[in-house]
Amino acid sequence: MKRKWRGGAEVLSDDELTSMRKAGLVVARALAEMTQAVRPGMTTREVDAIAVDVLAREHATSNFFKYEPGYGIPPYPAVSCLSVNNEVVHGIPSDRVLLEGDLLSIDFGAIVNGYHGDAARSVGVGTLEPLVARLNTVTRESLWAGIGAARLGGTIGDISSAIERWVRRSGKYGVVRDYTGHGIGHSMHQLPDIPNYGLPKRGPRVDLGMCLAIEPMVTLGGYATETLDNQWTVVTSDGSVGAHWENTITVTRHGLWVLTELDGGEAELNRLGLPFGPLAD
């Protein structure tokens, strides 16, 4: 099928959105298995191995493995990004042992029939300190605030500002500025960029057929980050703990469809009084 683009964003037909949902469901299932398996004493490599299993079982392939962002950065060596505590995103699975009280951010993506899904959850290893638990809750809520601000004829800035405002009104946190959400479709990273801060009514328009990966990254300290010598792992400059939540969504004529949630977002959207608008599920 001929691919359609508008202002740098891919525009998908209803049939193609149904294919995006298939990829999103694989991502949702893998994230559910990984989060449920996490416990003290496990290595991050063992968590990644669960994702490898899910991909095989679902006949899906990885969009993370061997991903090359360019600029001489080496190909990504795993199928998930596992970032612990001060690591915000793009942590590489390793022999690192997870400890009680760690905050683990699990970022995972999959390709099904050429369509990409991408999502992330942060989860406590055992019990979290109250301040870290609160950071995680605020970050998850800011993702849903961003999702809830997506509407046909609205703008990317509406989403960005809703995320930032949610975090700001929840307390003193850092909103990471060096990384953004993104359009997604037949490839993982497309335009538009979706910053986690900004002003309403600014930026590109949200249109029918666009799929958006919305992904707030929030810290207990400042917004500044740096990359480790492995050229991937992104840590907070001040050593504070960071959380990361992400979903791939689309806006249909009927409302919101969260492609990377097991229930399409129905329960949470209902709770928030937002329109749930799947095409067919």
C-beta of 159 vs 276, nearer to ligand MF3:
159
The footprint of ligand MF3 on residues 116-145 (CB under 6 A) is 118
Query: Residue 76 touches which of ligand MF3, Co ion, none (CB < 5 to 8 A by kind)?
Result: ligand MF3
Alpha-carbon dihedral 148, 152, 155, 157, rounded to 10 degrees? 0
Q: Which stretch binds Co ion (CB under 5 A): 5-13, 67-75, 213-221, 270-278?
A: 213-221
Contact 134, 171 (CB under 8 A): yes
Smallest distance from Co ion to CB 81, Å = 10
CA angle 10, 63, 216 (to 5 degrees): 70
**Cross-strand partners of 243:** 218
Build a one-symbol-per-residue string for 77-106: x at contacts with ligand MF3 by CB under 6 A, - elsewhere.
----x--------x----------------
C-beta of 164 vs 215, nearer to ligand MF3:
215
Residue 139: partners with Cβ closer than 8 Å, 6 or more residues away: 122, 167, 216, 217, 218, 243, 244, 245
Build a one-symbol-per-residue string for 216-255: x at contacts with ligand MF3 by CB under 6 A, - elsewhere.
------------------------------x---------
Structure tokens, 177? 């500025």
Is the bond preceding 192 in cis, omega lying within 30 degrees of 0? yes
Contact call for residue 118 and Co ion (CB under 5 A): yes
Smallest distance from Co ion to CB 196, Å = 12
Smallest distance from Co ion to CB 211, Å = 11
Instruction: Give contact residues for Co ion (rule: CB under 5 A).
Output: 118, 213
Instruction: Give contact residues for ligand MF3 (rule: CB under 6 A).
Output: 64, 67, 76, 81, 90, 107, 109, 118, 213, 215, 246
